[in-house]
Structure 1
Amino acid sequence: MNKSSLLHAPARPTTLLRLNPVEWALLLVAVIWGGSYSAAKIATEQLPVLQFLVLRFGLTFLLLAPALRSITSVPAWKRSLAGALLLGVVLLAIFICETVGVSMTTASNAAFLISLCVVFTPWCEWLLLGQRPGRSALIACALSFVGAALLAFQEGVTLSHLSWGDALMVLAALLRGVMVCLTRRQGLRFGLPALTLTAVQMGVMTAGSLVLMMALPGQRWLPLPATASFWWAMAFLVLLCTIVAFFVQNHAAARTSASRVALLMGSEPLWGALIAVVWMQEHLSLQGWMGGLMIVGATGWVLRPRNHST
């Protein structure tokens, strides 16, 4: 769900009514990623979080493992591999927060709150890369803070009864911002091929989830669910949310404008909320919709096209 890699194409006028095939594919990816929160919630209702992560990442790693055959042909591959391993650890932390978080909150809240990563990234750049955020980041931060508060305090929830799931989704969004900065600082995208990098990260997350599962008390490998809903959710997450979306994202990177990418991919949390309401029968109050739309607005503000003087 990384939007930053898509924002480097020449601009052209934006109109929703004239989407080319690549842009329709991007919109489909936004819908798919929006559905990932509901799919993860369905799966984690039937299997403990760590075992679910071992299974999800392990299956993905097996499918991507052939990409590792050419790893030694990359110049300075050992340095790039070390960086990829570090990013795999950060990704593991992100997915643990996300998966535990979505199991403790609604899929609609999760979809909206994770989009805070776009707002957090400029602040992570300031702390980690020394790039001071501009006025846009300040405005977006204030808007998204109010939106997150509206989501968290729905239905008369008080400060003492805030959802840990919402807090974990916000932490996952912050860690995503950190990961963007680590990726830029280490220049990993120009070291290992993107498919190889993804395979390494999937391997790290599989091993890390398995180690945590073995180390933490009370964790054991349970019989896998035999329900169709679990395996449909797992197939959706492994095949569509990871592999198909990955290829579409990379194919689209140089084939459409930044403004259109921002508009299309910025719709992901809205699709996530709509899918949760329709598919999961979740209820989102008017206050919740207002909060979610404020976060989407803040994300769009950060991602909007701007000239070099701003």
Structure 2
Amino acid sequence: MALLWGSTLVVMKGAYSHLSPTDLLANRFLVGALALGLLVPRAWRANARTIGKGLLLGLLFGAGQVLQAVGLSSTPASVNGFIGGLYVVVTPLLGAIFFGKRVPRQIWIAVALATVGLGSLALDPADLGAGIGVGELLTFAASVCFAAQIVALGRFATARNVASLALYQTIGAALVCAICAAPGGIRIASSGSEWFAVLYLGVVCSAAIAVLQSWAQARVEATRASVIMCTEPLWGAVFAIGLAGDPVTLRIILGGVSILAAMVMVVRPPRRRRGLTQDEAGPRQIEQAGIGDLVGDSK
């Protein structure tokens, strides 16, 4: 997921020269919802509770996307990227506030490392010192939306509702983005380059990622998942260096090392105490299922 999200930065940079941020988001999620509905038709078969949960997830994720895009119009891109990535800090806080989730010290250290790495990768020192404005506040609101979506998905996802949650989440995000883009009229992609961007972002980086995230978060605790997702800017830097020819700097190296160290800390097996893991009080135990179950009965 993080690798695919990192690849979107190069694609979106070119698409923004033709489509506004809200138009691109509306195109992206509409195509993603259509692709999921056609490729996984059994995902439509869900009860009202699953549909409602999926739409709520889509509302949170779509709102986060729009808020970050709007915030970008009055915020330096580096600051916008850093603040938007602060969901890695907000996620464990929301889990503790709403669900009483205890976060082990090892995970807090990983969160701190990920935040340092994110700042090193995303922040340009030249953009600092401008103070906090509306753009920064909107972007922070976006990070709260992303964190809430991660926490909620961790509570909602099971091995059997993955496809349906992904479909209705994508539909919810499409509705939010379409409503926000509607006042100025939604411009549909027309040229070959625009359609390439929309199809890649919609099918691969929206539909496929929605399925991957639902499947993964049925098995990985939300705070751990957020730290791993925080490797997105690292992959973005890799693609920018490999495809766009951006230079390799000490700041990128230090940020990459910090984020990778954080990821290693959250994915290594927890210490055991009296035969039980430290995360025993974590998410509920669920039936383990293979990838093939993604397209199974989601009721």
State the TM-score, normalizing by the size of structure 1: 0.67
Q: Tell me the residue number matched to 2:34.
A: 62
Q: Could you report, residue by residue, the CA deviation over 1:258-281 in whole angstroms, capped at 9, with x for unpaired residues?
A: xxx999988654322111233234
- Write the letter of the residue equivalent to 1:189: T
Query: How far apart, in 1, do the equivalents of 2:264 and 2:80 lie?
Result: 18
- Tell whether 2:145 aligns with 1:175: yes
- Write the letter of the residue equivalent to 2:186: W
Query: How far apart, in 2, do the equivalents of 1:56 and 1:169 lie?
Result: 20
- Same amino acid, percent of matched pairs: 26
Q: Tell me the residue number matched to 2:289.
A: none
Query: How far apart, in 2, do the equivalents of 1:224 and 1:184 lie?
Result: 34
Instruction: Compute the displacement of 1:89 (Å).
Output: 0.5
Instruction: Compute the displacement of 1:81 (Å).
Output: 1.7
Name whichever of 242-251 and 197-206 sits farther off.
242-251
Q: Tell me the residue number matched to 2:103.
A: 133
SS at match of 1:55: helix
Say whether the 8 Å CA contact 1:107–1:273 is kept in structure 2: no
**Number of residues paired by the alignment?**
267
Query: How far apart, in 1, do the equivalents of 2:229 and 2:43 lie?
Result: 31
SS at match of 1:221: coil
Say whether the 8 Å CA contact 2:33–2:171 is kept in structure 1: yes
Instruction: Compute the displacement of 1:198 (Å).
Output: 1.7
- Tell whether 2:238 aligns with 1:277: no
Say whether the 8 Å CA contact 1:57–1:206 is kept in structure 2: yes
Query: How far apart, in 1, do the equivalents of 2:179 and 2:226 lie?
Result: 37
Say whether the 8 Å CA contact 1:39–1:234 is kept in structure 2: no
Structure 2 vs 1, CA of residues 148 and 202 (structure 1 numbering), >3 Å: closer, same or farther? closer
Q: Tell me the residue number matched to 2:57.
A: 87
Instruction: Compute the displacement of 1:130 (Å).
Output: 0.6
Q: Tell me the residue number matched to 1:230.
A: 194
- Write the letter of the residue equivalent to 1:194: V
Q: Could you report, residue by residue, the CA deviation over 1:110-147 in whole angstroms, capped at 9, with x for unpaired residues?
A: 4x876654554322211121112221233234333433
Structure 2 vs 1, CA of residues 51 and 198 (structure 1 numbering), >3 Å: closer, same or farther? same
Unaligned runs of 5+ in 1: 2-29, 255-260
Structure 2 vs 1, CA of residues 205 and 253 (structure 1 numbering), >3 Å: closer, same or farther? closer
- Write the letter of the residue equivalent to 1:280: A
* RMSD of aligned Cα (Å): 4.1
Q: Of 49, 66, 77, which residue of structure 1 is paired with 2:21?
A: 49
Instruction: Compute the displacement of 1:169 (Å).
Output: 6.3
Query: How far apart, in 1, do the equivalents of 2:265 and 2:134 lie?
Result: 28
Name whichever of 244-253 and 176-185 sits farther off.
244-253
Q: Tell me the residue number matched to 2:182.
A: 214
Unaligned runs of 5+ in 2: 219-224, 272-276, 280-299
Q: Tell me the residue number matched to 1:22.
A: none
Q: Tell me the residue number matched to 2:206.
A: 242
Instruction: Compute the displacement of 1:36 (Å).
Output: 1.6
Query: How far apart, in 2, do the equivalents of 1:206 and 1:145 lie?
Result: 29
Say whether the 8 Å CA contact 1:101–1:166 is kept in structure 2: yes
Higher relative contact order (CA 8 A, sep 6+): 1
Q: Tell me the residue number matched to 1:297.
A: 261
Query: How far apart, in 1, do the equivalents of 2:105 and 2:9 lie?
Result: 32
Say whether the 8 Å CA contact 2:110–2:262 is kept in structure 1: yes
- Write the letter of the residue equivalent to 1:272: G
Instruction: Compute the displacement of 1:240 (Å).
Output: 2.3
Name whichever of 198-207 and 291-300 sits farther off.
291-300
Q: Tell me the residue number matched to 2:251.
A: 287
Query: How far apart, in 1, do the equivalents of 2:66 and 2:188 lie?
Result: 21
Report matched runs for 1:140-151 at 5 Å.
140-151=110-121
